[in-house]
């Protein structure tokens, strides 16, 4: 027995199924007695006609309910009915007391008999308006249900299909009637069917509609995944009872795909934007590879790895791999050594691995044979993972090697038993140069790679490749700049006679490590030493190049053995010509007119000092540089009063010299302004701090340098720093032999005797014969071509130096004597037998000198016959 609905007339016992026609149509009844008057009046008749039973009983129905113009005809029909005839028809009716008809009733009159056998009639009445509404609603429902472009289903209370429309049948096959009695499990995968069933049950129980329920499935006979949007609502009968659930399904596959494509495009744009911001923030190759993977995992893939050519990481000059036209040229045909520099994974399962190639030495012949046979199975990873930092090679026929050779993307399916679904093997190409390889992998269950993903992978790899190639080029140029810088600075432990030397150089820019500051220690004849510190205005490689030119010029001028002021004067002329076209000289006014950029590069300050260890006197000349600092034993550090002069490149002003006698054990410091000046403190404070840092000069010189750099602010990064420190030792008196000889022929023999005696005292008997011969030649030339008194001096330090002084100004010149000449071979002999020789001007004449190495126990090498014959 079904539930009992409430009506206006009372309780109706109902056992018909939900949706019965009687839920929508109210049937009224009444009876007419043998006298033609109403005998019975049902409650439904009360509802239909609006007349109570009390008012209707005993009335003539024709007179009471029919309009006046139809009563005659009505009486005739009633008489016929009482005579035993049935009748069905439409009868207008009115409410008693009203003039106008209220409606039209469809009446079915059937004869009946009373208990006494008299004729009577039973009348069944239906309101025609209700029937017409039902017909109209049914037609509309049929049109909407049948002609809807969307799939329409009506589920009963048992959740089976009661009705399906034509559109649904078109998609899922058969006719609409074939789907009656089916359930959602007949159409959907189990998981989706369970979701749909739960939604149907909830709608049926609660009456709450469900909108846009996303269901994924496939039509019968098709493997294409379709996406449907389902709308569900509960359907009620005329009595208000639930009769089922209506479902409207819309195929939104295209819309879903479009939305997914749009989401993918937005994701890709976001990834590219992130890549532009995060990749290439440093000029470190491995850091750039890690930045690439930080962007790609997990936003683009589940795990990834980057391999770079080993030659790229070790700084080889040749590009790792270059593609050209139709010929794919790879470094080592795509099988050169690579290093795994970065790995990232968003998958914790240990079975998920990236790109392990077969180890070097595996059977590549089998792989080549498989490739020649047309095998299309690309297997690149079958031997386990590659460790981070390991160096490896890819087999020649592997997809990875192919991608490196051709510069094209390869898709590699996951191996059996692996959780990797597929891998994109993407070469990293920058400026037609392959620099490495990146592998993007997605685990099973993730969305497969599409064409848009391939394009994004290429773009990500290309951006990283450009950054890596830039880093490679930067590192190469940086190394070249370092080579230039280091080649222009003296070796770590320069040596000089009578001096203990220590030096430091700190570039202001840690990124380039090159700058315009320089220092130098130059050996001069007579065991003298030139100490140089300079500072080119400007920073970086350009300043370093200018510094190199000036340093070379200083060394060249120093070899001429000029006075310090003369060296700076010539250097000033050179500096003024460096920026001019063709290196021509120009005036200071023209130089300034060239603009600040070029002027800064070729303006420089410099201190040039020449130290003589015999006299322990040092001659200074300054070109706009900070004054040297001298620390005498037991005294405080002081700034030497050396006239600063104008910077090199300005011109127009002469340079002055200052000669200072340096006591034994004193400390001399030459430096650049980066050591004592920065934005944080003025120059005066920096100089005071520098002098304080030199308060204990008795420590080892290297320790003094370290103490100065650790005490002062040397990490400001504003300017280069050069520091040159020398402790004065001087040559001991016993290492110097000094004699004055009269201007007469017998002085030649006297010079030989003095030289022999001094060498014997020093234990240098092995050099006696050579020195006697060469001293004889130089003293003879001084007598023949010189003037005034002759001075002979022997100096013993790391080498033996012999000097012959006279007052003449004519410099000796070596020439090749003719076969018929009786002389002219003395200087040739000096040049042949000595390690070095030369001459220099002095304030009172000139000095001619030669140098010999000290014997090492093997004796001095005698000149060969060919060398001796070369003089004739």
Q: Tens digits of per-residue pLDDT, 143-168?
A: 666 667 778 788 888 888 888 888 78
| Closest of 512, 689, 524, 761 to residue 619, by C-alpha | 524
Q: How many CA atoms lie within 13 A of 793 on its CB side?
A: 18
CA separation (Å) from 683 to 234, 559, 609, 625, 790?
90, 34, 23, 13, 50
Least confident span in 573-577, 610-614, 748-752, 774-778: 573-577
Least confident span in 458-467, 771-780, 856-865: 856-865
pLDDT-derived band of residue 303, with 50, 70 and 90 as boundaries?
very high
Helix%, strand%, coil% for the chain, nearest 5: 35, 25, 35
pLDDT-derived band of residue 804, with 50, 70 and 90 as boundaries?
very high
* CA-only gyration radius of the chain, Å: 57
Least confident span in 43-52, 311-320, 399-408, 572-581: 311-320
Condensed to tens digits (0 to 9), the pLDDT of residues 607-666 reads: 999 999 988 999 999 999 999 999 998 888 999 999 988 998 887 788 999 999 999 989
The arithmetic mean of pLDDT across residues 855-870, rounded, is 55
| Residue 857 CB partners (closer than 8 Å, separation 6+) | none
Residue 660 has a pLDDT of: 93
Residue 13 has a pLDDT of: 56
What is the percentage of the chain residues whose pLDDT exceeds 70?
Answer: 79
pTM: 0.56
- Which of left, alpha, beta for 129 (phi over 0: left; psi -120 to 50: alpha)? alpha
Condensed to tens digits (0 to 9), the pLDDT of residues 245-298 reads: 888 888 888 887 787 778 777 887 888 888 888 888 887 888 889 999 998 888
Condensed to tens digits (0 to 9), the pLDDT of residues 94-150 reads: 666 666 666 777 888 888 888 888 889 899 888 777 777 777 776 666 666 666 777
Residue 668 has a pLDDT of: 93
Q: Is the pLDDT of residue 87 over 70?
A: yes
The secondary structure of residue 353, as a DSSP letter, is -
Q: Is the pLDDT of residue 461 over 80?
A: yes
First CA to last CA distance, the chain: 146
The arithmetic mean of pLDDT across residues 670-681, rounded, is 84
Question: Which sign does the torsion angle of CA 688, 692, 693, 696 carry?
Answer: positive
Q: Is the pLDDT of residue 213 over 80?
A: yes
Residue 824 has a pLDDT of: 52
Residue 16 has a pLDDT of: 56
| Closest of 4, 89, 12, 71 to residue 47, by C-alpha | 12
Mean pLDDT score across all residues of the chain: 79
Residue 627 has a pLDDT of: 94
pLDDT-derived band of residue 811, with 50, 70 and 90 as boundaries?
confident
Residue 441 has a pLDDT of: 92
The arithmetic mean of pLDDT across residues 175-181, rounded, is 82
Structure-model confidence comparison of residues 592 and 455, the more confident one: 455
Residue 12 has a pLDDT of: 54
CA separation (Å) from 712 to 317, 687, 694, 784?
40, 10, 11, 59
Alpha helix (H) residue ranges in 694-728: 701-711
Cβ atoms of 835 and 800 closer than 8 Å:
no
Condensed to tens digits (0 to 9), the pLDDT of residues 60-75 reads: 888 877 778 888 888 8
Residue 587 has a pLDDT of: 47
Least confident span in 311-315, 359-363, 589-593, 722-726: 359-363
């Amino acid at each position: 027995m079904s539930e009992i609905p409430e009506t206006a007339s009372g309780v109706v016992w109902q056992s018909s199924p939900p949706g019965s026609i009687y839920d929508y149509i109210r049937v009224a009844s009444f009876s007419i007695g043998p006298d033609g008057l109403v005998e019975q009046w049902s409650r439904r008749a009360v509802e239909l006609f609006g007349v109570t039973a009390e008012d209707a009983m005993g009335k003539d129905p024709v007179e009471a309910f029919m309009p006046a113009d139809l009563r005659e005809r009505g009486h005739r029909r009633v008489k016929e009915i009482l005579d035993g005839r049935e009748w069905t028809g439409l009868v207008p009716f009115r409410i008693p007391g009203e003039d106008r008809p209220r409606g039209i009733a469809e009446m079915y009159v059937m004869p009946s008999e009373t208990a006494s056998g008299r004729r009577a009639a039973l009348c069944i009445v239906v309101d025609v308006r209700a029937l017409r509404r039902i017909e109209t609603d049914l037609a509309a429902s049929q049109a909407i249900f049948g002609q809807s472009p969307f799939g329409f289903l009506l589920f009963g209370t048992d959740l089976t299909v009661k009705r399906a429309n034509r559109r649904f049948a078109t998609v899922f096959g058969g006719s609409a009637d074939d789907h009656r009695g089916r359930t959602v499990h007949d159409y959907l995968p189990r998981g989706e069917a369970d979701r749909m069933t739960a939604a149907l049950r909830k709608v049926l129980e609660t009456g709450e509609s469900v909108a846009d329920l996303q269901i994924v499935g496939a039509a019968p006979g098709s493997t294409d995944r379709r996406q449907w949007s389902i709308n569900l609502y509960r359907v009620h009968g005329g009595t208000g009872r639930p009769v089922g659930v209506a479902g409207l399904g819309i195929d939104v596959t295209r819309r879903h795909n479009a939305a997914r494509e749009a989401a993918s495009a937005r994701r890709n744009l976001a990834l590219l934007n992130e890549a532009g911001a995060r990749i290439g923030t440093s000029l470190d190759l491995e850091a750039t590879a890690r930045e690439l993977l930080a962007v790609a995992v997990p936003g683009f893939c589940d795990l990834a790895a980057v391999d770079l050519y080993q030659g790229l990481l070790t700084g080889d000059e040749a590009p790792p791999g270059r593609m050209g036209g139709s010929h794919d040229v790879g470094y080592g045909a795509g099988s050169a050594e690579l290093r795994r520099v970065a790995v990232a994974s968003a998958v914790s399962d240990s079975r998920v691995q990236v790109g392990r190639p077969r180890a070097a030495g595996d059977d590549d012949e089998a792989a080549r044979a498989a490739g020649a046979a047309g095998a299309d199975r690309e297997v690149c990873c079958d031997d386990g993972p590659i460790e981070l930092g390991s160096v490896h090679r890819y087999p020649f026929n592997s997809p990875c090697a192919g991608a490196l050779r051709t510069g094209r993307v390869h898709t590699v399916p996951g191996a059996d038993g692996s959780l990797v679904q597929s891998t994109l093997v993407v070469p990293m190409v920058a400026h037609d140069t392959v620099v490495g390889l990146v592998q993007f992998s997605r685990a099973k269950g993730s969305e497969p790679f599409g064409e848009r993903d391939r394009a994004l992978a290429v773009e990500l790899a290309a951006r990283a490749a450009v950054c890596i190639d830039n880093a490679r080029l930067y590192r190469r140029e940086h190394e070249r700049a370092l080579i230039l810088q280091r080649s222009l600075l003296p070796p770590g432990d320069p040596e000089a006679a009578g001096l203990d030397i220590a030096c430091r150089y700190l570039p202001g820019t840690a990124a380039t490590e090159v700058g315009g500051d320089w220092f130098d220690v130059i050996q001069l004849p007579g065991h003298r030493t030139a100490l140089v510190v300079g500072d080119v205005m400007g920073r970086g490689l350009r300043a370093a190049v200018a510094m190199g030119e000036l340093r070379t010029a200083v060394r060249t001028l120093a070899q001429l053995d000029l006075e310090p002021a003369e060296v700076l004067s010539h250097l000033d002329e050179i500096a003024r010509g460096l920026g001019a076209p063709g290196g021509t000289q120009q005036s200071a006014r023209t130089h300034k007119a060239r603009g600040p950029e070029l002027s800064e590069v070729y303006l420089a300050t410099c201190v040039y000092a020449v130290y003589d260890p015999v006299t322990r006197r040092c001659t200074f000349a300054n070109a706009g540089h900070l004054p040297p600092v001298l620390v005498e034993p037991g005294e405080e550090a002081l700034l030497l009063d050396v006239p600063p002069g104008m910077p090199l490149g300005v011109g127009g002003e002469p340079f002055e010299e200052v000669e200072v006698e340096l006591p034994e054990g004193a400390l001399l410091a030459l430096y650049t302004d980066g050591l004592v000046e920065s934005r944080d403190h003025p120059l005066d404070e920096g100089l005071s701090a520098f002098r304080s840092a030199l308060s204990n000069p008795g420590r080892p010189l290297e320790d003094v340098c370290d103490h100065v750099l650790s005490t002062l602010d040397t990490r400001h990064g504003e300017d280069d720093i050069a520091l040159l420190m020398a402790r004065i030792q001087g040559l001991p008196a016993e290492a110097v032999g000094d004699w004055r000889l009269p201007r007469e022929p017998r002085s030649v023999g006297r010079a030989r005797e003095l030289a022999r005696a001094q060498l014997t005292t020093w234990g240098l008997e092995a050099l006696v014969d050579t020195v006697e011969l060469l001293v004889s030649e130089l003293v003879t030339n001084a007598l023949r071509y010189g003037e005034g008194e002759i001075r002979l001096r022997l100096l013993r330090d790391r080498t033996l130096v012999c000097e012959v002084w006279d007052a003449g100004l004519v410099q000796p010149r070596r020439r090749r004597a003719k076969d018929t000449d009786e002389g002219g071979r003395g200087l040739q002999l000096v040049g042949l037998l000595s390690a070095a020789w030369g001459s220099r001007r002095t304030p009172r004449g000139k000095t001619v000198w030669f140098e010999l190495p000290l014997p090492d126990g093997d004796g001095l090498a005698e000149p060969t016959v060919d060398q001796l014959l070369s003089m004739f």
